[in-house]
Amino acid sequence: MNFEDKLLPIISEIKSPLFLGARVELKLGESDKWEEQKTLINSYGHFVSGFLHNADNTIFGSIVKIDTVDEKNNIILGTVVGRVSVEEVGADSDIVKFAKVMDKPYDEYDINDLHSAISYTNNQVEKLRNINEGNHRFGSATNVDMKDIHGWIDKLAPLFRKGAEKIFLASAAMERLQYVSTALNMELEYQRFAKEFHEKVEESIQENQKEYFLREQLKIINDELYGSENEIEEYDEKIEALVAPEVVRERLDKELRKLANTQPSTPESYVIRNYLDTVLALPWNKVSKENTSLSYARKVLDEDHYGIEKVKERILEFLAVRRLAPDKKGNIICFVGPPGVGKTSIVRSIAKALGREYIRTSLGGMHDEAEIRGHRKTYIGSMIGRIISCIKTVGTMNPVFLLDEIDKLSSDYKGDPASALLEVLDPEQNKAFQDNYLELPFDLSKVLFITTANNKQGISAPLLDRMEIIEMSGYTIEEKTEIAIRHLLLKQLKEHGIKPNRIVLSAAVLEDIICGYTQEAGVRKLEHCIASICRKVAFGFTATKQPVKVLETADVEKYLGLPKYRKDDLRKEARAGVATGLAWTEFGGTTLEIECAIMSGKGELLLTGNLGDVMKESARIALSLVRSLAPKYNIDKERFETTSVHIHAPEGAVPKDGPSAGIALTTAILSAYSGKLIRCDVAVTGEVTLTGRVLPIGGVKEKMLGALQAGITRVILPVQNKKDALELPDTIKNKVEAVFVSDIEEAFRELFV
């Protein structure tokens, strides 16, 4: 069909060239004139689209024959019937623009002049077919119609990735064949590389490793084509945006240059990437806004913890100083006390009161210095130390950082972590803490470090010198009861899915649980007992649908079994050779029976009950002191030569040590030799010397609590500990009488019947 000098409607949505025989699917935009456009375009049966300009600004386009119109979806389906040059003319309608077809599609040609070019092009197509066996992409284009060379070229052109525009704009057959040959050469190079690429991938993977196959493809693409430029650019942008000290930025730039010159698949590149990711993830300039309100801090501490007024007061003093002098390098706080007294939870409350992030790490059993300082990044599997790792996790430079169980640190051939902690905790050093992995100074001066320990004797002297010790002693029965009512019961009800007030535990029931099933300074076992009751009651709720369970004293044994501890476990009558001492352990205070027996022998001293060296020395001192006092108490000195003394501390599996059993040991030995009876309702603690002087001891509150728990009503203390006794809560002073002595004979008068 001849279109020369005809007017055809224009549809300009298609921007790419359209070749003879191509199928066109065109979706028109939404318009209120769609019906008019459809009618007008349909009336012509053809339209012109796919416009391109050549160097002479001649406009070329393709004529598309309309096959069908999908009115529902506004889609026109058509077939390209030829290429023409056109001239845009004024429209006879304001709905559609028109183009005037100017001349024939392509120039005439002499087939004899094109034989060599056609043959060369055909050979190139055959090569493509051989490279891509089984791929018939170019198969349909190999049948050359000598009468329609332009049609053959139009079939080839859409198959190329580049060069289609030049082929479309050219009018001479030879020129078009030259462009086709160029495009075919490019396609051949591409297909050869693609084949080599797939061969490399196939050599490096197993048949069933699909995921690995995809990764290998990506790796080879990066290696062969693109390298790692995108990755380098991303790292460079992150470094540019990082707000950090200049030494950090310089080091990152240096590592990035190394990465750019390293093959992406080498182990060294992975080390560098991990290092860059780690350093970039650290919060070099991020700090939490601090709350300095003391009233809010007091409110938080009171809500979260009952009692421990002195501890709260000291914390508020600490916060007040920080408010007045934010940059002051204060001491590191160390909470020391038995398990379950709230050391860890009060640190969490401090973080809440300050509005800072909270992070915790346990030091118990740590024996490798690298866990604090990190590993050199040259080692396989190297990583940052635990301190920097926690800072990275919390995402801020000024968290409240709890170092739990600092007294449980150990050391071996791998180093001494306690020494490594000196740099972390010392305010003079931690401004430029050096992690072995980072090899960069990191400022820890904004971090509020708080430590906890059960026993300060387990803390190394240099560390202890850098910390301020705040003692957290055990709770009285009344305090434990109040804590259970305010906190523990509500917490366990929530954890077990029981609504508040569905389980009622009276103060009397809680006291029975405390005295009969727990023997601790804290409230951890008490919480376990309450949890056990909640589990059993929850089971009862599901079985009986009982709305509320009120526990009476008689119900305690039903849920918890027989009591583990009874006050009547102690002796009920005065006896000779048996004294009741008091001991302080990491778990609180407790009573300690000292038994002494005299037997025929040669003046030997036998010690059993797993006694430590200091306690053994106390026993020898006690025996020597009794021998020196023998005449005063009518003891024949010859008996010491013909008898042996056996001292035993029951519960032999439990290690016992310390000098505070001196009075009890001396009293038991003297009682065994003299036959004097020792009172059963009196306990004693205190160190003695060879001359009979009584020296002060530690852990007064814990020991008094242990005596109260055991049913002791009177405790003998060294006179130097009077100040400690005066600070005891009234609940202890009202139930346990404290008697103060300065020498051993004063103690004898209080202990003997």
Residues assigned a catalytic role: 660, 703
Torsion region of 622: left, alpha or beta (phi above 0 gives left; psi -120 to 50 gives alpha): alpha
Q: Tokens representing 273?
A: 């990437």
* Three-class HEC string of 391-404: HHHHCCCCCEEEEE
323 by DSSP, 3-state: which?
helix
State the Cα–Cα distance between residues 426 and 466, nearest whole angstrom: 7
Contact 260, 235 (CB under 8 A): no
Q: Residue 396 — φ and ψ, nearest 5°?
A: -150, 155
432 by DSSP, 3-state: which?
helix
- Beta bridge partner(s), residue 445: none
Helices (H), ranges, 569-699:
613-629, 638-642, 662-674
> Edge-to-edge strands of the sheet including 588-600?
605-608, 643-648, 588-600, 578-585, 682-684, 714-718, 737-741
Q: Residue 132 — φ and ψ, nearest 5°?
A: -105, 70
User: What number of other Cβ atoms are within 10 A of residue 37's Cβ?
Assistant: 18
In terms of Cα–Cα distance, which of 723, 460, 508, 477 is closest to 588? 477
Sequence-ordered list of residues with C-beta below 8 angstroms from that of 190, at least 6 positions apart, any chain: 161
State the Cα–Cα distance between residues 556 and 529, nearest whole angstrom: 10
State the Cα–Cα distance between residues 73 and 30, nearest whole angstrom: 10
What contacts 24+ positions apart, CB below 8 Å, involve 217-225?
219/264, 219/265, 221/197, 222/264, 223/263, 223/264, 223/265, 224/193, 224/197
Q: Tokens representing 127?
A: 């090569």
State the Cα–Cα distance between residues 20 and 3, nearest whole angstrom: 15
DSSP H or E run through 593? strand 588-600
DSSP H or E run through 79? strand 75-89
State the Cα–Cα distance between residues 224 and 222, nearest whole angstrom: 6
State the Cα–Cα distance between residues 367 and 362, nearest whole angstrom: 12
Q: What is the DSSP string of 167-224?
A: HHH--SHHHHHHHHHHHHHHHHHHHHHHHHHHHHHHHHS-TT-HHHHHHHHHHHHIII
- Strands (E) across 347-455 are located at 358-362, 400-404, 433-434, 441-442, 448-453
- Beta bridge partner(s), residue 8: 99
State the Cα–Cα distance between residues 560 and 555, nearest whole angstrom: 9
State the Cα–Cα distance between residues 48 and 17, nearest whole angstrom: 11
In terms of Cα–Cα distance, which of 452, 564, 559, 580 is closest to 503? 559
Torsion region of 545: left, alpha or beta (phi above 0 gives left; psi -120 to 50 gives alpha): left
To which residue do tokens 């301020």 refer? 468
What does DSSP assign to residue 575? Answer: B
What does DSSP assign to residue 415? Answer: B
Q: Tokens representing 165?
A: 């525009």
Q: Is 237 exposed, middle or buried (0-12, 13-18, 19+ CB in 10 A)?
A: exposed
In terms of Cα–Cα distance, which of 314, 708, 655 is closest to 472? 314
User: What number of other Cβ atoms are within 10 A of residue 596's Cβ?
Assistant: 26
